[in-house]
Amino acid sequence: MKVSILAAAVLVSASAMAEENPQWNGSLELGYINTSGNTTSTTMTSKFSLETDREKWRHALNLSGYNNSDDDVRSAESYNANWQSNYKFNEVQSMFGRIEYEDDRFNGWDYQVTGTAGYSHRLLFNDDMTLDLEAGPGYRYSVYDQDYMDDDGNLVWDPSLGETQSEALVRAAADFNWDISDTAHFRQEASTEAGHENVINRSVTSLTMDLTDVLAVKLSYEIKFTREVLPTVNQYDRKTVVSVGYKF
């Protein structure tokens, strides 16, 4: 299942990139934080983004990974890949299609795949700011883990947890971008994907400072809320990340 999903994503990406005169912009971000003392904590993050904005189409690909260890014991590990294409009717109205794959090793599931489609409206559009709103129906497929960490840090295997869940959902999202200056850029992303079985809300707030034409420093704060989780899992997942990015 995982191989099929990744293969499909590669085919979609290759098809979009094969259009005539592609003009793609991308970035690679890496973050590393190590603290020591009474406890030792290591955090590593990575993100790869690729996007293009053409006369009729807008495409965006995002790949990210997050790992955290406390005293050499892995405490968080997640990977995310998403692709979104917008077909533009005009400068402000478009239809979107989006697919997302997420593997969160410490949140109770093996992986989740979500596909959504709907209407997008660019509510604000000028030289310094853009605000995009979108909404539409979708479908989520989840495969839950058969093991989890108990309160004492022991790995517990429970065969009753190894099940799948499929549900229809509604997605609503907002994406605000503000070029504060030639070198400072603010972005606020927020989304909710609400189904009958579960609701997942996300918020990402970031500030990017350009060091050169190709290098930048980024500070971001991410919040993810999952309504239905295992008893040992927190509904809220928060991350503060400092990273260095390379733009191309």
Distances in whole angstroms, Cα of residue 241 to Cα of each of 18, 135, 213, 227: 34, 28, 22, 24
pTM: 0.81
CA pair distance 116, 170, nearest whole angstrom:
8
CA pair distance 169, 194, nearest whole angstrom:
5
Q: Are 107 and 76 in contact (CB under 8 A)?
A: no
- The number of angstroms, rounded, from the C-alpha of 70 to the middle of its chain's C-alpha atoms is 24
Mean pLDDT across the chain: 86
Q: Are 127 and 133 in contact (CB under 8 A)?
A: no
CATH number of the domain bearing residue 243:
2.40.160.40
Q: What is the pLDDT of residues 133-190, one digit of tens each?
A: 999 999 999 987 766 566 666 666 665 566 788 999 999 999 999 999 999 999 999 9
CA pair distance 202, 238, nearest whole angstrom:
10
Q: What is the pLDDT of residues 87-104, one digit of tens each?
A: 999 999 999 999 999 998
> How many domains are there within the chain?
1
Q: What is the pLDDT of residue 181?
A: 97
Domain carrying residue 142: 2-247
CA pair distance 62, 100, nearest whole angstrom:
9
Q: What is the pLDDT of residues 29-69, one digit of tens each?
A: 999 877 766 667 888 999 999 999 999 999 999 999 999 88
Q: What is the pLDDT of residue 143?
A: 87
Closest by CA to 130, choosing from 74, 189, 183, is 189
Question: Cβ atoms within 10 A of the Cβ of 121, count?
Answer: 12
